[in-house]
């Protein structure tokens, strides 16, 4: 990736994280977040087809209240919402609209697949994982 494109990508990610930090002010602005999807609420490859690692974990109701949820989908704008309300809103919007969601191509990162994105501001403990392709 050319330096100019990399700097734009990084700038966009920093701006996105600023939005998340404004919604989660109790967390340090110097920390980043863990990004996850909800099993069954994405249009990505299955873990068996995905070449990288896939980690599985669950969240308690209390932990869900600390997370942000939103749908990432080309040509659709869904704002992140915190907590159970964000989870319920995302699940409802996914059920109502997912037939219209399409993957979009990215010049540098292949396809950008529609998904419910979960922004997690704390460490999680995995209960299982699918190893990367070369280790299977």
Q: Tell me: the pLDDT tens digits for 79-132?
A: 999 999 999 999 999 999 999 998 887 776 677 799 999 999 999 999 999 999
Q: Tell me: the pLDDT tens digits for 25-72?
A: 999 988 889 999 999 999 988 888 888 899 999 999 999 999 999 999
The number of domains in the chain is: 1
Residue burial 92-123, b: 16+ Cβ < 10 Å; e: rest: ebbeeebeebeeeeeeeeeeebbbbbbbbbee
Domain membership of residue 76 as a residue range: 3-135
Q: For the whole model, what pTM was predicted?
A: 0.87
């Amino acid at each position: 990736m050319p330096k100019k494109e990399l700097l734009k990508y990084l700038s966009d990610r920093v701006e996105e994280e600023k939005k998340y930090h404004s919604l989660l002010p109790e967390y340090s602005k110097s920390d980043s977040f863990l990004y996850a999807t909800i099993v069954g609420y994405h249009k990505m490859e299955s873990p068996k087809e995905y070449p990288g690692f896939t980690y599985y974990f669950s969240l308690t109701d209390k932990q869900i209240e600390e997370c942000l949820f939103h749908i990432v989908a080309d040509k659709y704008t869904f704002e992140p919402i915190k907590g159970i309300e964000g989870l319920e809103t995302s699940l409802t919007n996914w059920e109502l609209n997912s037939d219209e969601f399409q993957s979009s191509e990215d010049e540098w990162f292949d396809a950008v697949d529609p998904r419910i994105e979960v922004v997690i501001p704390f460490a999680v403990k995995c209960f299982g994982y699918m190893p990367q392709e070369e280790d299977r």
